[in-house]
Amino acid sequence: MQLLSQITIPTGKKEAVIQLLLGDLSAIPKEHAVDILVVSAFPNDYMALKGSLFLALQNKGLSVQALAANKQIDLVAQLGCWLSAPLPTEQKNKFNFKKILCFEPQYHSSEPQTIVGNIFRCINTFAFDEENDEIAMPVLATGYQKVPIQKMLPPLLENAIFWLQNGLPLKCIKLVLYRQEQADAALPIFEQVKQLLVKKTEEEIKNISDFPRRPPAVAYPAVAEPETVYAPGNAERNNESTSAAPPVVLQPHSAPTPTYDLFISYSHKQTEAVQEFVKAIQEKKDALNIFYDRSSIPAGGLWIRKISEAIQNSKSVLCILTPEYSKSDVCWDEFQCAKVMELRTKKSIIKTINFIKDEDMPPMFAIYSYIDCTEADLQKLKSSADQFL
């Protein structure tokens, strides 16, 4: 496995790295051993098709289909992903990874931000301890979804940098390409991001843009479709486009974000109840500054940055837990922003209210003790306001 380039991200007391490599994910060498291998599949489809990573793994004695039958954590209904049970010691030593994280969303999209957002919600859910802090993955969604590497890699790097800078405790993210043609397309983009990060100040680095589609300053090499196709997973056949990649642009820092006493994270279905809850708080202490209305935040890539800034400038984050909450991409993003803030600051920030019982509550939410206001007891919810004054 050949290391093509590496981006180093300062994360406080330590550094994290994003590596671009050329090699075979079914034959990871010991020096590039990781905790988790990220793969993708269509829903409940783990057939080892010709040219796929699944077949390469199966030919060497590891069946993804068998792993799927014995999942350690199943979040397919909420996030479209699952984590396998740890591999037996012999297989760990052979393949040089411990578990597989399989990404299999119910609805596939050709929009890179949507795909990457879903991928990182999955990664972020399992990357919170030293046993799961190094991952390897192909450039996902460049397969049967036919998203070109030139379109997929920039938002993939943007999200990786964003989460590492905000405190996601990963030491290393390895992006692995299988063919030289892929490397020829990906390396110039990777190097451009790397150079921009080197040149910008620490404050500017925190505000990577949404990669606007401007005419490229330098035309990147076109990538011809090779005759032999290797698919990193059943959903990952590599069909790169011949179009040139857009340049990556770092935006100047935006205006300072206000500080908040409380950030409330909730599903839009509970909007009226949350409004009543906020009203109950403000009737007792109207000086509190509470963030609960997302309507002023623009859609697109800047959304997660605005939310992250608001959470980082909040004393506490309150999550109103319901079945709709655990199925909401927005709520997962908010919860994960708060979680990485807890890890970075070593402070207890997240508080939860169980408003409607969720039989399939994800472990990530369930580990927190909560105020019980089930089933949708508005009076209990309003009464609980005293605990946030």
Predicted confidence at residue 145, as pLDDT, reads 64
Predicted confidence at residue 215, as pLDDT, reads 30
Beta strands 172-177 and 81-84, pairing class = unpaired
**pLDDT tens track for 38-93:** 998 888 889 888 888 999 999 999 999 999 999 999 999 889 999 999 999 999 99
DSSP letter string over 76-133? Answer: HHHHSEEEEPPPPHHHHHHHS-SEEEEE--SS--S-HHHHHHHHHHHHHHH-SSGGG-
Q: Which helix (H) or strand (E) holds 180?
A: helix 180-199
Predicted confidence at residue 224, as pLDDT, reads 31
Res 15 pLDDT > 80: yes
pLDDT band (50, 70, 90) for residue 389: confident
pLDDT band (50, 70, 90) for residue 16: very high
pLDDT band (50, 70, 90) for residue 201: very low
DSSP letter string over 299-320? Answer: SSTHHHHHHHHHHHTEEEEEEE
Predicted confidence at residue 6, as pLDDT, reads 96
Is 2-205 in CATH node 3.40.220.10? yes
Q: Tell me how far apart the terminal alpha carbons of the chain are, to the nearest angstrom.
A: 55
Q: Which helix (H) or strand (E) holds 158?
A: helix 149-165
pLDDT band (50, 70, 90) for residue 108: low
Question: Which sequence spans correspond to the domains of the chain?
Answer: 2-205, 260-388
Q: What is the pTM of this model?
A: 0.80
Q: Does residue 136 contact residue 38 with C-beta atoms inside 8 Å?
A: yes
pLDDT band (50, 70, 90) for residue 118: confident
Instruction: Pick one of 3.90.1150.10, 3.40.630.10, 3.40.605.10, 3.40.50.10140 as the CATH number of 260-388.
Output: 3.40.50.10140
**pLDDT tens track for 274-315:** 999 999 999 988 889 999 988 777 666 678 888 999 999 999
Predicted confidence at residue 204, as pLDDT, reads 52
Res 182 pLDDT > 60: yes
Res 324 pLDDT > 70: yes
Q: Does residue 321 contact residue 335 with C-beta atoms inside 8 Å?
A: no
Angle at alpha carbon of residue 177, lines to 133 and 247, rounded to 5° = 95
How much is the mean pLDDT over the chain? 82
Overall average pLDDT of the 184-206 stretch:
78
Instruction: Residue 36: name the closest of 121, 113, 90, 95 by CA.
Output: 95
Q: Does residue 306 contact residue 255 with C-beta atoms inside 8 Å?
A: no
pLDDT band (50, 70, 90) for residue 223: very low
Predicted confidence at residue 245, as pLDDT, reads 36
Query: For 50, which DSSP code?
Result: T
